[in-house]
């Protein structure tokens, strides 16, 4: 409802006056002239007989980053308010966030400014609060966000585009609207003058709004929103884009981190590994100890040299570009939100791996970075280092065409190369059109594979339907991986929380794994669950499919032969950093046990002060399995609410061998604070099964009740901690 005495309205009510202002601003030369024009505009709008008032936020909406629901006409009275109508999948909405971050840096709620994100979903999956929570974390949104799942405010104001910004005065009165991205100068101009105008009139209040950041309630995690994963087919190492930690991990097949490059905070710096920084990296490609990275929010392509241990920039200037043609040398060529990269060549080239193909999500195109002199289809010889558009007009649409520059994509987010005949193409996961497309390496022709519909302008043809071609439906797919052995394409159907498989010969698309439920279960293909998987790759000669299970903060391993899913363990080693710098001498944190870990309740044990109790681990692995070399199999001793028991004790240790497992000693203190206590021994084993090269982690918890008596300490047999996995 609107405030008393005001008129409800749509954004169209602002259009005549704001259009006149924007025409006048075109002729303004100095900043003083621009400020004066906006000030005069506000005098006019503020003098209207009735305000153009924004409706109140409906009751019952879910809020994030606040202590509770916010009211326009109570909490926000006396504030200049920016309403950001967004949906978290939209690349244009993502592009607006740095402008909002910069504005928040300049003005706080004490200065009279507050930004409120109004999440108005495009896809059904985006209406779910937990998914919005993940997006708020992923994009480091620190202002209040309301989940307007039914788009009530969107409809009442007749918003028509993501993103749309509406600037309100201190009475909930609408002042300005900005549609789309790329309006940073106007956003800052309108906001700063509005704050001055209403401050001059004594209408700005400096009260603080109750902010409670969602990210502050979360425990640390080895991975945070991993976006993409790829495998080095020579060394079998994985390269993980640990997107939320703003770093790249190079991980051995046993899960041990070999290199951690960048993080934990965003930045843009080349140089040695310990100094280099990234900003929400996504796509990664590795060959011959060289990794190329789509450094998405820096709008760069970065090169990691593992031998020299150096990071450099090979494309982009660090600012979002709008050029839809390209052609300059990489480090002089502006680019926009690269989301994935893949090594390859064009169909006309004999030389392999002379091109880095780029899914340029920000301009809805496929680009090429030339790693050597070569020729693209319908192009003359191009110089090494050139970076240019290969396919896509730049219009956001689902348009297939034999002429690559007339085709249209909608936020392409995943690439996979099928270089062999008869394919000779790039497969593209085109997220906003909910399709998978193929781009010919011979002539650049773009053709449809599965998903979407025939109308190229309809970007709402999504769903979750197994079928053939246009009869199959996907929901915002973000990743694709070609299985050369089986001649099949795997697709991360991200918003359906499934992994699907496409036969390009028949265009038949079926669910391979995932129930569609948003959870974290690793079991058989039919019973396992994912949460917005964003990337995937084929490894171990076609036996394994690695999946970046983004919102579960894990890498999953799908065994394509046994049809089972397991978690790929990621563990630190040496100087590799898992969650920021580890302080020397810092006590180890007890890892969280897997949900599937059994708990063994032991019989009560009597012990006396000064007595030493010994626990002997007797853990057995499945037949033929062995501990993973270099991975940190370990044990921990804890005593919740009775920490006095552990003073001066060794609380943890390694398990180096199954045939020679450690004995764990606990000496009962001389001064006991309680006659009864419970100690817990948790064990974590990393091992490889006999028939698979995938590494697994299993955990177990033993609980030992203690009854402490005054009897003379004696010798007791070790307590055997037995379990067969």
18: domain CATH number is: 3.40.30.10
- Higher-confidence residue: 711 or 294? 294
Domain check: are 456 and 310 in the same one? yes
User: What single DSSP character describes residue 183?
Assistant: -
The H or E element containing residue 192 is: helix 184-200
Domain enclosing residue 43, as ranges: 11-215
> What pLDDT is recorded for position 709?
84
Domain check: are 208 and 103 in the same one? yes
CATH for 703: 2.60.40
Domain check: are 249 and 276 in the same one? yes
- Whether 588 maps to a domain, the answer reads no
Distances (CA, A) of 305 to 340, 345, 421, 572, 576: 19, 21, 32, 21, 17
Report how far residue 286's alpha carbon sits from residue 114's, in angstroms, rounded to the nearest whole number: 44
Domain check: are 202 and 246 in the same one? no
Checking if the pLDDT of 129 tops 80, the result is: yes
- Whether 4 maps to a domain, the answer reads no
- Whether 329 maps to a domain, the answer reads yes
- Higher-confidence residue: 686 or 347? 686
Domain check: are 199 and 314 in the same one? no
> What pLDDT is recorded for position 595?
67
Phi-psi region of 540 (alpha: psi -120 to 50; beta: other; left: phi over 0): left
Distances (CA, A) of 405 to 60, 324, 444, 520: 47, 10, 8, 41
Low-confidence winner among 268-277, 297-306, 399-408, 591-600 (lowest mean pLDDT): 591-600
In this structure, are residues 473 and 465 in contact, taking their beta carbons and an 8 Å threshold?
A: yes
Residue 454: which pLDDT band, with cuts at 50, 70 and 90?
very high
> What pLDDT is recorded for position 625?
81
Domain check: are 440 and 324 in the same one? yes
> What pLDDT is recorded for position 583?
30
Strand partners, 236: none
In this structure, are residues 324 and 394 in contact, taking their beta carbons and an 8 Å threshold?
A: yes
Any residues with CB less than 8 A from the CB of 632 and at least 6 apart, and which?
256, 571, 572, 573, 654, 684, 686
Checking if the pLDDT of 253 tops 90, the result is: no
What are the φ/ψ torsions at residue 253 (nearest 5 degrees)? -65, -15
Residue 586: which pLDDT band, with cuts at 50, 70 and 90?
very low
Domain check: are 191 and 317 in the same one? no
State which of 568, 590, 620 marks the end of a domain. 568
Report how far residue 372's alpha carbon sits from residue 331's, in angstroms, rounded to the nearest whole number: 15
Integer-rounded Cα Rg, in Å, for the chain is 29
> What pLDDT is recorded for position 347?
66
Any residues with CB less than 8 A from the CB of 108 and at least 6 apart, and which?
none
The H or E element containing residue 536 is: strand 535-539
Please give the average per-residue pLDDT across 692-713, as a whole number. Answer: 75
Domain check: are 52 and 22 in the same one? yes
State which of 528, 546, 568 marks the end of a domain. 568
User: What single DSSP character describes residue 465?
Assistant: B
Position of tokens 């920490």? 643
Pick the closest to residue 594 from 512, 686, 703 (CA basis).
686
Characterize the bridge pairing of strands 80-86 and 113-119.
parallel
Helix axes 31-46, 15-27, angle to 10 degrees: 160
pLDDT in tens, 530-544: 999 999 999 988 999
Name the domain count of the chain. Answer: 3
Positive or negative, the CA dihedral 638, 639, 642, 645 is negative
Report how far residue 677's alpha carbon sits from residue 609's, in angstroms, rounded to the nearest whole number: 13
* Widest CA span in the chain: 96
- Higher-confidence residue: 621 or 581? 621
Pick the closest to residue 566 from 549, 590, 550 (CA basis).
549
- Whether 3 maps to a domain, the answer reads no
Please give the average per-residue pLDDT across 445-470, as a whole number. Answer: 96
Residue 573: which pLDDT band, with cuts at 50, 70 and 90?
very low
Residue 693: which pLDDT band, with cuts at 50, 70 and 90?
very low
Domain check: are 316 and 369 in the same one? yes
In this structure, are residues 64 and 131 in contact, taking their beta carbons and an 8 Å threshold?
A: no
Tokens matching residue 222: 């080895």
Checking if the pLDDT of 449 tops 80, the result is: yes
Checking if the pLDDT of 667 tops 50, the result is: yes
Domain check: are 231 and 275 in the same one? yes
Checking if the pLDDT of 584 tops 60, the result is: no
Report how far residue 523's alpha carbon sits from residue 512's, in angstroms, rounded to the nearest whole number: 13
Pick the closest to residue 91 from 361, 298, 452 (CA basis).
361
> What pLDDT is recorded for position 631?
59
Checking if the pLDDT of 582 tops 80, the result is: no
Report how far residue 156's alpha carbon sits from residue 139's, in angstroms, rounded to the nearest whole number: 27
- Whether 156 maps to a domain, the answer reads yes
In this structure, are residues 221 and 553 in contact, taking their beta carbons and an 8 Å threshold?
A: yes
- Whether 208 maps to a domain, the answer reads yes
Distance of CA 293 to the CA centre of its chain: 15
Tokens matching residue 279: 């900003």
Tokens matching residue 711: 């009897």
Checking if the pLDDT of 87 tops 90, the result is: yes
Please give the average per-residue pLDDT across 347-365, as a whole number. Answer: 83
Any residues with CB less than 8 A from the CB of 581 and at least 6 apart, and which?
none
Average pLDDT over all residues of the chain: 89
Domain check: are 607 and 680 in the same one? yes
Domain check: are 145 and 105 in the same one? yes
Tokens matching residue 369: 């970075």
Pick the closest to residue 528 from 540, 543, 538, 513 (CA basis).
513
pLDDT > 70 fraction of the chain, expressed in percent and rounded: 92
- Higher-confidence residue: 503 or 158? 503
Residue 646: which pLDDT band, with cuts at 50, 70 and 90?
confident
> What pLDDT is recorded for position 578?
39
Please give the average per-residue pLDDT across 35-63, as a whole number. Answer: 93
Residue 632: which pLDDT band, with cuts at 50, 70 and 90?
low
Give the 3-state secondary structure of residue 356: strand
Checking if the pLDDT of 174 tops 50, the result is: yes
In this structure, are residues 497 and 530 in contact, taking their beta carbons and an 8 Å threshold?
A: yes
- Whether 580 maps to a domain, the answer reads no
Tokens matching residue 441: 């390496």
Checking if the pLDDT of 314 tops 50, the result is: yes
Cβ-based neighbour number of residue 337 at 10 Å: 25
In this structure, are residues 408 and 364 in contact, taking their beta carbons and an 8 Å threshold?
A: yes
State the Cα torsion 274-278-280-282 to the nearest 10°.
-90
Residue 589: which pLDDT band, with cuts at 50, 70 and 90?
low
Please give the average per-residue pLDDT across 285-300, as a whole number. Answer: 97
> What pLDDT is recorded for position 574?
38
User: What single DSSP character describes residue 256?
Assistant: B
What are the φ/ψ torsions at residue 682 (nearest 5 degrees)? -110, 140
Tokens matching residue 378: 């319908």
**3-state secondary structure string across 292-336:** EEEEHHHCEEEEEECCCCEEEEEECCCCCCCCCCEEEEHHHCCCC
State which of 156, 181, 215 marks the end of a domain. 215
pLDDT > 90 fraction of the chain, expressed in percent and rounded: 67
- Whether 592 maps to a domain, the answer reads no
CATH for 225: 2.120.10.30
- Higher-confidence residue: 58 or 577? 58
Report how far residue 255's alpha carbon sits from residue 722's, in angstroms, rounded to the nearest whole number: 26
């Amino acid at each position: 409802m609107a405030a008393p005495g005001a008129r409800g309205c749509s954004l169209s009510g602002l259009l005549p006056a704001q259009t006149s202002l924007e025409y006048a601003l075109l002729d303004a030369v100095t900043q003083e002239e621009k400020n004066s024009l906006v000030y005069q505009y506000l005098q006019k709008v503020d003098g209207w007989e009735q305000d153009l008032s924004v409706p109140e936020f409906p009751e019952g909406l879910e809020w994030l980053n606040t202590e509770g629901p916010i009211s326009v006409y109570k909490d926000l009275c006396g504030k200049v308010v920016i309403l950001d109508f967004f949906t978290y999948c939209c690349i244009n909405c993502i592009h607006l966030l740095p402008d909002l971050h910069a504005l928040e840096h300049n003005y706080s709620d004490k200065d009279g400014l507050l930004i409120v994100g109004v999440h108005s979903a495009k896809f059904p999956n985006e209406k779910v609060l937990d998914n919005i929570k993940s997006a708020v974390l992923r994009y480091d949104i620190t202002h209040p966000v309301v989940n307007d799942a039914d788009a009530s405010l969107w409809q009442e104001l007749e918003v028509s585009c993501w993103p749309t910004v509406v600037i309100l005065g201190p009475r909930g009165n609408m002042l300005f609207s900005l549609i789309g991205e790329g309006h940073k100068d106007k956003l800052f101009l309108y906001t700063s003058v509005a704050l001055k105008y209403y401050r001059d009139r004594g209408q700005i209040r400096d009260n603080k709004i109750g902010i409670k950041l969602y990210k502050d309630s979360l425990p640390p995690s080895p991975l945070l929103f991993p976006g993409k994963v790829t495998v080095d087919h020579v060394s079998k190492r994985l390269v993980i884009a640990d997107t939320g930690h703003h770093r790249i991990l190079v991980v051995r097949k046993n899960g041990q981190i070999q290199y951690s490059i960048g993080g934990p905070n965003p930045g843009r710096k080349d140089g040695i590994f310990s100094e280099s920084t990234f900003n929400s990296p996504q796509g990664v490609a590795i060959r011959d100890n060289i990794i190329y990275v789509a450094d998405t929010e820096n709008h760069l392509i970065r090169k990691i040299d593992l031998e020299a241990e150096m990071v450099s920039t090979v494309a982009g200037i660090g600012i979002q570009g709008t050029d839809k043609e390209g052609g300059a040398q990489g480090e002089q060529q502006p680019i926009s939100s690269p989301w994935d990269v893949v090594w390859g060549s064009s169909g006309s080239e004999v030389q392999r791996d002379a091109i880095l193909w780029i899914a340029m999500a920000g301009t809805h195109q496929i680009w090429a970075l030339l790693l050597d002199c070569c020729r693209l289809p319908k192009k003359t010889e191009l110089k090494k280092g050139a970076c240019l558009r290969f396919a896509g007009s730049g219009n956001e649409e689902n348009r297939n065409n034999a002429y690559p520059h007339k085709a249209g994509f909608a936020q392409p987010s995943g690439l996979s190369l099928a270089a062999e005949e008869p394919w000779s193409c790039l497969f593209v996961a085109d997220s906003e059109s909910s399709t998978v497309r193929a781009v010919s390496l011979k002539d650049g022709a773009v053709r449809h594979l599965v998903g979407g519909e025939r109308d190229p302008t309809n970007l709402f043809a999504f769903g979750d339907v197994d079928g053939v071609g246009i009869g199959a439906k996907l929901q915002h797919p973000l990743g694709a991986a070609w299985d050369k052995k089986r001649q099949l394409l795997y697709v991360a159907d991200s918003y359906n929380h499934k992994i699907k498989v496409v036969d390009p010969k028949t265009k038949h698309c079926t669910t391979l794994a995932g129930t569609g439920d948003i959870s974290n279960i690793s079991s058989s293909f039919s019973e396992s669950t994912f949460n917005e998987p964003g990337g995937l790759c084929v490894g171990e000669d076609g036996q394994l499919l690695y999946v970046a299970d983004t919102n579960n903060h894990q890498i999953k391993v799908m065994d394509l032969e046994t049809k089972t899913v397991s978690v790929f363990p990621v563990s630190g080693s040496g100087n590799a950093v898992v969650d920021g710098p580890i302080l020397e001498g810092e006590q180890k944190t007890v890892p969280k046990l897997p949900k599937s870990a059994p708990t063994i309740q032991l019989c009560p044990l009597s012990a006396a002060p000064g007595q030493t109790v010994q626990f002997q681990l007797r853990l057995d692995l499945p037949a033929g399995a062995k501990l993973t070399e270099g991975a940190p199999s370990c044990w921990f001793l804890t005593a919740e609410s009775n920490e006095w028991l552990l003073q001066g004790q060794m609380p943890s240790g390694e398990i180096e061998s199954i045939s020679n497992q450690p004995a764990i000693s606990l000496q009962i203190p001389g001064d006991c604070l309680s006659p009864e206590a419970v100690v817990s021994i948790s064990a974590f084993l990393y091992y490889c099964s006999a028939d698979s090269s995938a590494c697994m982690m299993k955990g177990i918890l033993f609980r030992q009740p203690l009854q402490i008596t005054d009897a003379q300490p004696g010798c007791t047999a070790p307590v055997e901690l037995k379990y067969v996995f």
